[in-house]
C-alpha cells in the first residue's frame, strides 16, 4: 500500500487541478446567476468608479451581486411575454418528443426486425440526411412550411420540422437497441397468436425503455434548444419560443442582460435536470450510434 502511494501523484496536487478546472467551469454559470439576481439589466457585476482601484475591479469579477433582488425574475413573468414563450417551447418540445418517439420507434422496429427491398437504401438515406447542411434546406423548408402548408408562426409547423430533424438519430438509436433484444420472446408470442402490433406494443416497447428514454431526451432537447429554425418560422413576437425570446433580449441593439440571465436559468433548469437523469444512457447511445455510423 505504501509503495503505491509513493508512485501516485500527491492528492493535493490533483485537487488543485480539479479545483481550478471546476472554477473555470462553474464561473460562467455563477456569473449568469449573479446577473439574474442583481435586479439590473447591466452585464457588469458591479459599477466601477471613474478610476477604479484593484479592489473595485476585484468586486466586479467576484460572482456575487451587490444586492440580491428577484426583480428580474418577477418582471420576466409580468412585464415580458416570457411565460408565453416558455409555454410555446414546452408545447413544441413535448409534441416533438411524442411524435418523434412514435415515428422513430415504428421505423426503427421495421428496420431491425424485417428484411424487405430498399431496407438498406432507407437506412443509409437516414444516415446521409444527417449531413445535409441546415442552411441548404432552410429556404425550401420555409417555402414548404410557410407558403405551401400555411404553417408560418404556428407551433405545428415547428413541431413537424423538429421531428424530422430528430428522426434519423432516433431511428438509428432505436434500431440498434431493438437489434440487441432477443427474438425468442416475440416468436413465442407469435405462436400464441398475438398480432405484430400487439407484440410491438406489449413486448418490444417495454423492453426498449432505456433507448426510448434517450430518444425522448434527444427529441426534447431538439425542440427545447433549437433557435435558427424557430427564428425563421416564428414572425410574431407572441409565437416566439424561449430561445428566440432570450436572444431577443440581448441580440441586435437590445442589452437586457438581466432578463436574459434570469430567463437562461429558467430555461436551463429542466434540460439540465433531464440531462443528469438520463446522462449515462446518452453516452452509451451516442458512442454506439457513431460506431455503427
Q: What is the nearest approach in angstroms of other proteins to the Cβ of residue 249? A: 9
Question: Which residue's CB is nearer to other proteins, number 92 or number 171?
Answer: 171
- Binders in 68-97 for other proteins, by CB under 8 A: none
141 Cβ partners below 8 Å, 6+ apart? 161, 229
Q: Please name the residue ranges forming H helices in 152-256.
A: 155-180, 184-191, 196-198, 205-207, 209-225, 228-233, 242-250
Size, binding site for other proteins by CB under 8 A: 94
Q: What are phi and psi of 55, to 5 degrees?
A: -65, -40
DSSP for residue 64? S
- Binders in 202-261 for other proteins, by CB under 8 A: 221, 224-225, 227-228, 243, 246-247, 250, 257, 260
Interatomic CA distance for residues 169 and 177, integer angstroms = 12
Residue 2 contacts other proteins per CB under 8 A:
no
Helices 82-113 and 209-225, axial angle in degrees (round to 10): 140
Residue 135 contacts other proteins per CB under 8 A:
yes
Question: Which residue's CB is nearer to other proteins, number 102 or number 237?
Answer: 102
- Binders in 171-200 for other proteins, by CB under 8 A: 171, 196
70 Cβ partners below 8 Å, 6+ apart? 37, 39
List 83, 129, 156, 180, residue binding other proteins (CB under 8 A): 129
Residue 66 contacts other proteins per CB under 8 A:
no
Q: What is the nearest approach in angstroms of other proteins to the Cβ of residue 230? A: 11
Amino acid at each position: 500500500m505504501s509503495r503505491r502511494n509513493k508512485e501516485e501523484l500527491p492528492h493535493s496536487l490533483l485537487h488543485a487541478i480539479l479545483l481550478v478546472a471546476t472554477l473555470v467551469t462553474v464561473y460562467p454559470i455563477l456569473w449568469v446567476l449573479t446577473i439574474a439576481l442583481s435586479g439590473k439589466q447591466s452585464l457588469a457585476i458591479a459599477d466601477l468608479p471613474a478610476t477604479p482601484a484593484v479592489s473595485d475591479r476585484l468586486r466586479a469579477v467576484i460572482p456575487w451581486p451587490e444586492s440580491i433582488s428577484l426583480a428580474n425574475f418577477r418582471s420576466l413573468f409580468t412585464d415580458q411575454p416570457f411565460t408565453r414563450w416558455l409555454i410555446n417551447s414546452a408545447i413544441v418540445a413535448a409534441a416533438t418528443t411524442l411524435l418523434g418517439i412514435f415515428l422513430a420507434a415504428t421505423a426503427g422496429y421495421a428496420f431491425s426486425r424485417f428484411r424487405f427491398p430498399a431496407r438498406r437504401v432507407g437506412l443509409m438515406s437516414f444516415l446521409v440526411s444527417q449531413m445535409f447542411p441546415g442552411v441548404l434546406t432552410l429556404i425550401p423548408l420555409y417555402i414548404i412550411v410557410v407558403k405551401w402548408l400555411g404553417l408560418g408562426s404556428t407551433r405545428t409547423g415547428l413541431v413537424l420540422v423538429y421531428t424530422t430533424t430528430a428522426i434519423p438519430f432516433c431511428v438509428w438509436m432505436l434500431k440498434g437497441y431493438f437489434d440487441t433484444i432477443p427474438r425468442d420472446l416475440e416468436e413465442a408470442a407469435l405462436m400464441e397468436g398475438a398480432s405484430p402490433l400487439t407484440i410491438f406494443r406489449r413486448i418490444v416497447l417495454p423492453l426498449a425503455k432505456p433507448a426510448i428514454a434517450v430518444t425522448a431526451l434527444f427529441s426534447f432537447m431538439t425542440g427545447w434548444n433549437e433557435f435558427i429554425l424557430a427564428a425563421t418560422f416564428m414572425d410574431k413576437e407572441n409565437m416566439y419560443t424561449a430561445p428566440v425570446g432570450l436572444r431577443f433580449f440581448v441580440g441586435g441593439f437590445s442589452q437586457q442582460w438581466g432578463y436574459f440571465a434570469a430567463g437562461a436559468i429558467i430555461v436551463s433548469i429542466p434540460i439540465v435536470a433531464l440531462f443528469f437523469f438520463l446522462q449515462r444512457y446518452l453516452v452509451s447511445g451516442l458512442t454506439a450510434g457513431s460506431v455503427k455510423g
